[in-house]
Every structure is written in C-alpha cells, then in structure tokens.
Amino acid sequence: MPDHSLPVKPIPTRRARGCKQTSRPATRVLSLSLVLLVAGSPGWAQLGEDRPATAGGSQAAAQQCRPPGTVQPRGRIQRIGPLPMDIRANDMQAPADAPMRFRDDVLLVYGDQELRTDELIYDPETGQVELPGWLEYTDAVIRMRADSAAYNTETSAGRFSGVDYYIAGAEGAGHAGEVRMLGPERAEVQTFDFTTCDVDDPDWQLKAGDVELDFERGVGTARDARLEFKGLPLLYSPWLSFPLDDRRKSGFLYPQIGASSDNGIDLAVPWYWNIAPNMDATFTPRFIGERGLSMGGEFRFLTRRQAGTIQLDVLPDDREADRDRWLARARYSARLAEDWTARANVNRVSDPDYFFDLGNELESSTIQYLRSDVRVRGQGRFWAMTTTFDTFQVLDLNVTDEREPYNRLPRIEFDADLPLPNGFTFRLDSEAVYFDRSIGVTGLRLDALPELSWRLVRPGGFFEPRIGLRATAYSLADTDAGAENDPSRIQPIVSLDGGLVFERETASGRLQTLEPRAYYLYVPGRSQSDFPVFDTRELTFGFAQLFRTNRYSGADRQTDANQLTLAVTSRLLDRDDGRSLLDLSLGQIFFFDDPSVRLPDEPEDDRELSATVGEINWRPSDRFLVNAGLQWDPDDSQLDVAAFGLRWKGADARQVQVGYRFRRDRVDQFDIRFRYPLTSELNLISRVNYSLEDDEPLELLAGLEYESCCWALRTSIRRYVRDREADQRTAFFLELHLKGLGSLGRRPYNLFTY
C-alpha cells in the first residue's frame, strides 16, 4: 500500500516490462470517468461568490493549510489527438482465453493522466476493468485515491469505493464513500464532503448524504446537504442542486447581513435565475428592521450587438418615512454599425433622501444630481460625432430652481483631428446644444473652434505654435427685458508652446531630466456679460491649467488672455524599465493684461501673477508612494490649496494610507487608514476621516480580522455622516469567509484603494 498522506512525488524513472498502445484503452475511459466524477465536486463552491481572503482590498500573504510543496500545481491538459498509452508493470500476463493481468507496481500514463495500482485486470471480451486493491490517479486538475474500483468500458458503468480527492492548484479536498458510474453521463455519490481546511481536522466542511451528477446537463443534485463550521451547522437543505461546469445555475446566493443605528438589522437574501445562456435575473428580498420589507430585482441580457441591465428596488410603505420608496436604474449599449454605437443610462429615485436612508456609503450622501442620458456615437479615422440627450434629477434640497442643471435635448458634438503634410495638423471641436429648464433662459447654442497647429519635435525639445478661431452663437427664449435673443462672439486664439529636455546620469546610475517649458497664450477680449450661463463653471486651478486656452468649462465663457506660463519638471528615471521614481513640477502664470471676462458671481481679478503651483510624486518602490501638491498665493502670501497622500504596503498584512486635503476657507480634512497584524492570524483595521474645518469626524471605523488557512472572520463598526445636515449613522458589519466556497455577511467597502 502507498503512503496515504499522498505527498507529491515525481514518477520514478526505471525500465519495466509492459506494453505501449495507441488505441482507445479501457484505462483511458476509467481515468476520464474519475476526472468527471471528482471535477464535479467543487461545483458546490459555485453557489456563492468567492471573495478575496483579505479585507479592505489589501493583499496580505495567503495562509495555507497544507505544507509547502504538497499542493500539486495545476498543469496543462494533454488529451487532444491520438496519444500513446503506456502501461508498465513488473508482471504482466495475457493468456488467450482469460483477462489480461498487470501486477506489482502498475503505472498507466496517457497524456497528462497517470494511474498507479498494485493490480489491474482487463477483459477485452467484456470490456470489464477490475482494480481489486488501492489505486492513485493524477492529472492536470485532480489527484485522487480509491480503495478499489471496477469499470466496464462497454456500458460505461462502474463503482469506486473509498475515494479521497485533492484539487490541483488549490486547497480543495474531500472524500466520497462510494461512487457509482451509471453510464457515460451520470453518476451517484454517497457520503460526499468538501473543504479547503486540513482534511484530517477541518474547521468547516460541506457535506451531503447522496449526490447525483448529470454531466450531460451539467447539474448535480444533493440530498441532506449541510455546511458545518467548527462542528456547528450553518446552513442545511434537504435538497439542492448545483452546477458541474461553467454553465450558470439558478438558486439562492449567500445572504448579506448588517445592522445600523437608524435602520436596525439589515438582511438581504438574493435568488439568482438563469433564464438563458445570455440572460439572467437576480431577485433580492431585503428586510430592514425599522423600515419594512423591500424587494429588489436586476435583469441582465447580452447579445452579439447589445447588452443591458435593468434594476428596480421597491420599499412599499416605509415605516420611518411613511411613504413608498423606490430606485430604478437601466443600462443599455448597442453596436448599431461598424463605427456606430448607442448607449442609454437611466437613473431615478423616489425622493431626495433615498440614498441617505437606504444607502450604505458616505459617498451616497454627497450625490447632488442623478443623471440620465441617451447617446449615439460614430467615429472614423479622423473624426467623431456624438449625439446626447441628458436630464437630471436634483437630490440636494439646497439647490435652488435657478441653479438646477439644464437638460440638454440634444447635444450634438463633432470633432475632427486631421494630420496634414509637413507636421501641420487641423483640429475642429464643435457642438450644437439645446438647453431646457422649467425656469430661466432656454435656447440653442452653437460653438465651433477650428485650429491649425505645427509641431516640431527633436530629441532635445519641442516647439508648437497654434492658431484657432472660436465662434459661438445663441438663439434664446425667455430672456430678460432688453436682453438680446441671439448674441454671438468670434475670438481668435493664438498660443506658442515650447520646451527643452536635458538629461544626465546620476552617481547611482539613474537618469535625471530637467524639462523647462514656456507657454504663451493670447486671446483678445470680447464682451460676454449678456451671454447666459448654461453649463459653464470655472475650472479648478492646478498644474494642468497652466497650459489650457480657457479657464472655464463649457462654451458660455471664453477667457481673454495675454499671459506667459513658465514651468519646469524634473524626473528621476530607472534606466532598466523607464519607471519614474521621482517627478517634481513647478509653474506659474504671468499676466500682462487683466482678464475682463468673468462669470456673474466671479470677483474681479487684477493680479499680475497666478498662484504658484507645485506637484511631487515619489515612488521608491511598488509598495510605497507619496504625492503632494500645493498652490501658493504670492499676493496674499497664503496657501490656497494643499494635498498630500501616502500609501505603503508591507511585506505582510501591514498597510497604511494617509491623505490630507486643504482649500482655503472651504475644506480642511485628513484621512488615515491602516491595517496592522496583532498576531500572524489577527489583524486590526481602522479609519479616521476628520474635518478640521468643522471640528468633527466624517467617518470612524474600527474592526478585527481573523484569518486562518481556510477561513476568515471580519467584524467592524463604522460611524459616518449620512446626510448634509451632519447626522451620524452607526453600522455594524460581520462577515464569515470560507476560502474556496464563499462568504456569509457583509463587509462595508474596500478600505484601501490599491
């Protein structure tokens, strides 16, 4: 008998008496039957979604229950085409009127499949194969052992007793008391179990009394099925079915459980319906303790040219809000022709407080608008055209009617980028938009910006002059008395952009660059005070703004300019892979004339210098990143904007992420997240997001993670701002993760962003 611990061993190389065949032998059918049988067992794991073994998106080193070197790596399946089968044994008998017998260290090799046993009996007349003693079978995806086996190659029927199996490239393993092959496509299993823990002493096991496997339909059926954890039953079902292959299967998914201070217990039990190979649906009853029972549904479909998702969540008669609540979403995309696509995105909720009351994220409380749009896009080699219809649902009650976003019904964009001879390029950005709203000015806006540029690039630098002409015209309705209904403007835009690149090798062998850049912009002023403001806002000032032709988004304002930007960037590059280890940028705008174009609520600006903008990114390794940025106002000698970020991931579970944001008189916040191992199996996670401007926390989170080699338990408590009135919500999360199977419970969100 072999060693039942089944260590991974190479096949011994030796000369042995035997024979080689190229025909389809009985042992090939036997081995393939064993593969089908055991490959069906892990189908249980497809009942739930397997999640990463660590929380918060961090990737700590995974623990293994089996010692290193004993997990067989997944190999490459080799069963295509005519392959020779090699049977080796120390003793072989092939009498004319009796079955063939192979004895003493029998080894059968066929492609990636190997079968070892002490005795193999094969009757060519009846196709009966007998293995009266132990057998070991190994291939690219499975390794198994059985006490005895019998199989008939003519009827594809057989029996295997005392089966132990191990899944290659994973921790999955289990036992089957007896397996009966009822034909090429059906099998029955008695006393089946599966785990990713230590097989001899598992912390959790998936068990079943009787299992029927239908390989033709790709479906297995289990009776008396139960999931046990630490000897205690977690789930039980007298009957259930599960998939044996990648075909999807209808059934319940794992429940999601949580709790919060204002909603009470929150339990969701999704049920998945596999309607067709290209169509499915998920129905999710959700019980919210303080509000009632809701029902959610999601329908998905996919064809060769189309794809779509429809979601509807309904909470009838919310006990807290005393009204019906609902959320509706739809996503649709289609390929209309070779270069034409269509897309629809619809979002609506019953009331502005929906995400405050029924959402689980801090970000959901900051949603001001829900956008719905339909878009058709076509493109060629040098052009692109997009037609969009979009509307907005306002969720922020502080937004007045006069400040609600306009519906664009439609917005038609046409862009072109045409290369010309001798380094010239012609570009065109144009759009036609009709703006509609229940209050205020409405109407049509036409805008076009054709540009001609010439770019000269050399190893030591570049130079690019550009000239453009921006034309904008309106056809307005509901204007104020005395205001024009059809204002227009034409503005030339001239820019000169040039830079140099100097390089030197440092003492450490790295490459350092020095890249000075100058950008001159001239745009003559045009009166635009009578123009409406449909979709135009002042852009947030940053390093990229130093080289833009307009400081506004949208076409309602085109800034006038007579200015020069001077900037410099220095990089430290790794010569081996070109990766930037350190880059530092610094820049400022010099104004020769005061800008005269502004928005209605924008103050006059008569400064000669812009804020000094600086950015730095330091990446000494893949596990460490520091970035920072600032804007310094030279006139007021004050800091306008500052940002800092640090990310570090240790070799083990240690992980830290620090962030800080500052904008004068508006934002002053810091955010600290960390994960620290208290022991090799227990980790502490925490987050503190605090507003120094308001002197109160925005979010506090603390939790513990316990992780063994085959399961993990995560628990956390979270207190965060749930609405714009700074009301706080306290939520509790608990998740049990069974590696290789799935998770029970709910985690709050990914704590780390990388």
Q: What is the pLDDT of residue 6?
A: 31
CA dist 152 and 26 (Å) reads 8
User: Residue 219's pLDDT band (boundaries 50, 70, 90)?
Assistant: confident
E-only strand ranges, 5-134: 18-21, 85-88, 91-93, 100-110, 113-123, 128-131
Of the chain, the end-to-end C-alpha distance in Å amounts to 50
Q: What is the pLDDT of residue 606?
A: 82
Tell me if residue 392 falls in helix, strand or coil: strand
SS (H, E, C) 572-599: EECCCCCCEEEEEEEEEEEECCCCCCCC
Range of lowest pLDDT (241-250, 333-342, 421-430): 241-250
State how beta strands 488-500 and 219-229 pair: unpaired
Q: What is the pLDDT of residue 71?
A: 52
Query: For residue 410, is the peptide bond before it cis, meaning its omega torsion is within 30 degrees of 0?
Result: yes
The phi and psi torsions of 29 (rounded to 5 degrees) equal -60, -40
Give how far Cα 622 sits from Cα of 18, 370, 619, 654, Å.
55, 37, 7, 14
Averaged pLDDT, 501-508? 93
CA dist 749 and 746 (Å) reads 9
Tell me 99's DSSP state.
-
Averaged pLDDT, 212-220? 79
Closest CA to 561 of 597, 612, 534: 597
Q: Is residue 26's pLDDT more than 70?
A: no
Can you name the residues that pair with 713 across neighbouring β-strands? 706, 736
SS (H, E, C) 478-544: CCCCCCCCCCEEEEEEEEEEEEECEEEECCCCCEEEEEEEEEEEEECCCCCCCCCCCCCEECCCCHH
Structure tokens at 656: 């830290």
Q: What is the pLDDT of residue 361?
A: 59
Q: Is residue 445's pLDDT more than 70?
A: yes
pLDDT tens column, 600-642: 988 888 889 999 999 999 999 889 999 999 999 998 889 999 9
Averaged pLDDT, 740-745? 74
Q: Is residue 413's pLDDT more than 70?
A: yes
Q: How many helices and strands (H and E) does the chain possess? A: 2, 48
Can you name the residues that pair with 330 across neighbouring β-strands? 310, 346
* Position 367, amino acid: I
Can you name the residues that pair with 657 across neighbouring β-strands? 647, 673
User: Residue 28's pLDDT band (boundaries 50, 70, 90)?
Assistant: very low
CA dist 140 and 114 (Å) reads 10
Which of 385 and 184 is assigned the larger pLDDT? 385
Range of lowest pLDDT (50-64, 584-598, 630-644): 50-64
Q: Is residue 4's pLDDT more than 60?
A: no
Q: What is the pLDDT of residue 747?
A: 64
Q: Structural domains in the chain?
A: 18-249 (2.60.450.10), 653-754 (no CATH)
Q: Is the pTM of this model over 0.85?
A: no
Q: How many CB atoms lie within 10 A of CB 660?
A: 16
Q: How many CB atoms lie within 10 A of CB 675?
A: 27
Closest CA to 224 of 253, 191, 247, 254: 191
Tell me if residue 288 falls in helix, strand or coil: strand
User: Residue 683's pLDDT band (boundaries 50, 70, 90)?
Assistant: very high
User: Residue 14's pLDDT band (boundaries 50, 70, 90)?
Assistant: very low
CA dist 557 and 79 (Å) reads 68
User: Residue 377's pLDDT band (boundaries 50, 70, 90)?
Assistant: very high
Note whether 256 and 734 are within 8 A (CB): no
Query: What integer best gives the mean pLDDT of the chain?
Result: 84
Q: Is residue 10's pLDDT more than 50?
A: no
User: Residue 78's pLDDT band (boundaries 50, 70, 90)?
Assistant: low
Note whether 103 and 89 are within 8 A (CB): yes
pLDDT tens column, 688-718: 999 999 899 999 999 999 988 889 998 989 8
Winning range, highest mean pLDDT, from 152-166, 222-236, 387-401, 581-595: 581-595
Structure tokens at 182: 């009822």
Averaged pLDDT, 367-388? 95
Which of 368 and 384 is assigned the larger pLDDT? 384
User: Residue 684's pLDDT band (boundaries 50, 70, 90)?
Assistant: very high
Tell me if residue 43 falls in helix, strand or coil: helix
Closest CA to 32 of 208, 185, 200: 185
Structure tokens at 292: 């009632």
